[in-house]
Amino acid sequence: LRFGQMEIFWERGEVDLLRELGAHSLHREFSHLLVQHPGEPLSKQMVRMFHEICERQAVLVAEWIRVGYCQGNMNSDNSALGGLTLDYGPFAFMEKFIPLYNPWV
């Protein structure tokens, strides 16, 4: 599930559908949280999920930067809640550190 899929419902003000998609995401991508904290209210589970999403996204970006990967559009349409990159272009690898490197010019 992409971040952008969640944004659609938020932008439209469709809070019930956003909550439903959030619950689906919790069961699909973060079911271990349900096992670790059984009986906890959905609102608290969603907060736990949000914290884990933030951590996974931070690790994803840090790991890509670590290997010199330059993603031209690391945005909500190209990143998944589970901490994955979904789009393959445009991108490049920087062989050595060049502060102003930009492969798209």
pLDDT in tens, 2-44: 898 999 999 999 999 999 999 999 999 999 999 999 999 999 9
Question: pTM to 2 decimals?
Answer: 0.82
Is 89 part of any domain? yes
Residue 75's domain spans which residues?
3-93
Q: Is 77 a catalytic residue?
A: yes
Distance separating alpha carbons of residues 102 and 23, to the nearest angstrom: 39
Catalytic residue among 31, 77, 86, 101: 77
Q: In this structure, is residue 105 part of a structural domain?
A: no
Instruction: For residue 61, give every residue at least 6 positions away whose Cβ sits within 8 Å of its Cβ, in sequence order, or none.
Output: 74
Total structural domains within the chain: 1
What is the DSSP secondary-structure string of 50-72?
Answer: HHHHHHHHHHHHHHHHHTTEEET
Residue 88 lies in a domain: yes
Residue 98 resides in a domain = no
Name which of 48, 87, 79 is nearest 61 in CA terms: 79
